[in-house]
Amino acid sequence: MNKGYTFIQFLLTLALISSLFLATRVGSTLLSYYRDQRRQKDLKEISQVLEVYHQAFNRYPKGRDNGYIYGCYPDGNSLCIWGKPWRDQARKTLMDKVPEDPIATQYTYYYWATSTGDRYQLYAYLESPRGKGVFLDAEGRRLYYSGTLCGQNMCNYGIASKSITPETARSLVTKEGKIHLY
């Protein structure tokens, strides 16, 4: 009667465990990649609606330091909530649902506009360390936009209206808050 595993059984068990670990790791990386793609698409869609709003009202909606858009019904100065419909003061539906981060329990988008409403910046947090549009320092560490908070992390991806960049008036900093100089 054999009371132990053979070497072949041990190798097969090890191979199975390794395969499961690798599949989990690859699956997690792919999910992060697809969530980041969605975040970039969401910001592009919000940006297009911001341009429609600008054409209708000759300004972008207000943005405050909390990162939300203030341009919703009933008065055009009310908070627009991520994941809810966006209606302007004329009750026109601009978006059936303002996109929210795919992991809304951990991350949010961040919006900022000038007090005159002539420019805006829109940010997200990308999970992938080398995602398209993510800045890295010389050591390969991610850089973040100072003064932004996309849920649990500072934002590291941004888009902006014409005549402004996501970096305008925002330093790129390390996670520890050290300002990055080019």
Residue ranges covered by each domain of the chain: 7-173
pLDDT per residue as tens digits for the range 71-111: 988 888 899 999 999 998 888 899 999 999 999 899 999 99
73: helix, strand or coil: coil
Token pair of 43 as six digits: 């910001």
| 76 burial level (CB within 10 Å; 0-12, 13-18, 19+) | middle
Give the confidence band of 159 by pLDDT, cuts at 50, 70, 90: very high
pLDDT of residue 22: 57
Share of the chain above pLDDT 90, in %: 48
pLDDT per residue as tens digits for the range 27-68: 567 889 999 999 999 999 999 999 999 999 999 999 887 899
